[in-house]
Chain A
Amino acid sequence: MLQYSSRFMRNTLIASAALLALSAHAQSTVKVGLLSTLSGPGAGLGVDIRDGFQLAVKLAGGKLGGQTAEVIVADDQASPDVGRQTADRLVKRDKVDFMTGVVFSNVMLAVGAPTFQSQTYYISANAGPSQYAGEQCNPFFFSASWQNDNLHEAAGQVVAEKGYKRVAVIAPNYPAGKDAITGFKRFYKGEIASEALPALNQLNFGTEIAQLRATKPDAVYIFLPGGMGINFIKQFVGAGLAKDMTLFGPGFSGDEDVIKAVGEPMLGMFNTTQWAHDLDNAANKKFVAEFEKEYGRLPTLYAAQGYDTALLIDSAVRDTKGQLTDKTAVRKALMAAKFNSVRGEFKFNKNQFPIQNYYLRMVSKDAKGRVTNRLLGGAVLKSHSDAYASSCKMPG
Chain B
Amino acid sequence: MTPHPTLEDTADSILDHRLHWRWAAPVLALLLVFPLIASALGMDFYVSLASRILIFALAATSLNLILGFGGMVSFGHAAFVGLGAYAVAIFMQAGIVNAWLAWPLAMLVSAGFALVIGAISLRTQGVYFIMITLAFAQMLFYLVTSLKVYGGDDGLSMAGRSILGFGLDLANERVFYYVTLSIVVLALVAVARLLNARFGHVLQAIHENEVRMTAIGFPVFRYKLVAFTLAGALAGLAGALLANLGGFVSPALMQWSQSGMLMIMVILGGVGYLYGGVMGAVFFLLLEELLTHFTIHWQLGLGAVLLLVVLVAPNGLASLIKLRRRT
Q: Do chains A and B touch in the complex (CB under 8 A)?
A: yes
Q: Which of B27, B45, B250 contacts A89 (CB 8 A)?
A: B45
Q: How far is the CA of A173 from the CA of B154 in the complex (A)?
A: 10
Contact across chains for A5 and B153 when beta carbons are under 8 A apart: no
Q: CB-nearest residue of chain B relative to A18?
A: B293
**Which of chain A's residues 84-141 have a Cβ closer than 8 Å to chain B?**
84-85, 88-89, 92-93, 106, 109-110, 113-114
Q: How far is the CA of A20 from the CA of B43 in the complex (A)?
A: 8
Contact across chains for A113 and B248 when beta carbons are under 8 A apart: yes
Contact across chains for B153 and A84 when beta carbons are under 8 A apart: no
Contact across chains for B321 and A1 when beta carbons are under 8 A apart: yes
Q: Which of B26, B41, B48 contacts A16 (CB 8 A)?
A: B41
The yes or no answer to B23 lying at the interface (CB within 8 A) is: yes
Contact across chains for A20 and B42 when beta carbons are under 8 A apart: yes
**Which of chain A's residues 71-92 have a Cβ closer than 8 Å to chain B?**
79-81, 84-85, 88-89, 92
Contact across chains for A81 and B22 when beta carbons are under 8 A apart: no
The yes or no answer to A214 lying at the interface (CB within 8 A) is: no
Q: Given A89-B45, A93-B45, A113-B248, do A19 and B293 touch, yes or no (CB 8 Å)?
A: yes
**Which of chain A's residues 257-300 have a Cβ closer than 8 Å to chain B?**
none
Q: CB-nearest residue of chain B relative to A20?
A: B41
Say which size band chain B's interface belongs to: 20 to 34
Q: Which of A2, A15, A18, A88 contacts B23 (CB 8 A)?
A: A2
Q: Given A1-B323, A15-B290, A19-B293, do A110 and B157 touch, yes or no (CB 8 Å)?
A: yes
**Which of chain B's residues 105-142 have a Cβ closer than 8 Å to chain A?**
none
Q: Given A16-B41, A22-B293, A80-B248, do A110 and B23 touch, yes or no (CB 8 Å)?
A: no
Chain A residues with CB under 8 A of B45: 89, 92-93
Contact across chains for A174 and B157 when beta carbons are under 8 A apart: no
The yes or no answer to B252 lying at the interface (CB within 8 A) is: yes
Chain B residues with CB under 8 A of A174: 153-154
Q: CB-nearest residue of chain B relative to A6?
A: B26
The yes or no answer to B155 lying at the interface (CB within 8 A) is: yes
The yes or no answer to B185 lying at the interface (CB within 8 A) is: no
Chain A residues with CB under 8 A of B20: 1
The yes or no answer to B253 lying at the interface (CB within 8 A) is: yes
**0/1 interface trace, chain A 197-238, chain B, CB 8 Å (1 if under):** 001100000000000000000000000000000000000000
The yes or no answer to B247 lying at the interface (CB within 8 A) is: yes
Q: How far is the CA of A2 from the CA of B27 in the complex (A)?
A: 10
The yes or no answer to B219 lying at the interface (CB within 8 A) is: no
Chain B residues with CB under 8 A of A92: 44-45, 48
Chain B residues with CB under 8 A of A80: 154-155, 248, 250, 252
Contact across chains for A9 and B154 when beta carbons are under 8 A apart: no
Q: How far is the CA of A235 from the CA of B153 in the complex (A)?
A: 26
Contact across chains for A106 and B290 when beta carbons are under 8 A apart: no
Q: Which of A5, A19, A93 contacts B27 (CB 8 A)?
A: A5
Chain A residues with CB under 8 A of B26: 2, 5
Q: In angstroms, how far is the closest chain B Cβ from the Cβ of A272?
A: 26
Contact across chains for B247 and A113 when beta carbons are under 8 A apart: yes
Contact across chains for B153 and A81 when beta carbons are under 8 A apart: no
Chain B residues with CB under 8 A of A113: 157, 247-248
**What are 10 A-B contacts with C-beta separation under 8 Å?**
A1-B20, A4-B320, A5-B27, A80-B250, A81-B155, A89-B45, A92-B48, A106-B153, A113-B247, A200-B153
List 7 A-B pairs, minimum CB-CB distance, nearest first.
A106-B154, A93-B45, A81-B252, A92-B45, A80-B155, A81-B250, A1-B23
B residues touching A (Cβ–Cβ < 8 Å)? 20, 22-23, 26-27, 30, 41-46, 48, 153-155, 157, 246-248, 250, 252-253, 286, 290, 293, 320-321, 323
A residues touching B (Cβ–Cβ < 8 Å)? 1-2, 4-5, 9, 12, 15-16, 18-20, 22-23, 79-81, 84-85, 88-89, 92-93, 106, 109-110, 113-114, 173-175, 199-200
Extra contacts, 6 of them, besides A106-B153, A110-B155 (Cβ < 8 A), are A16-B41, A80-B252, A81-B248, A92-B48, A106-B155, A200-B153
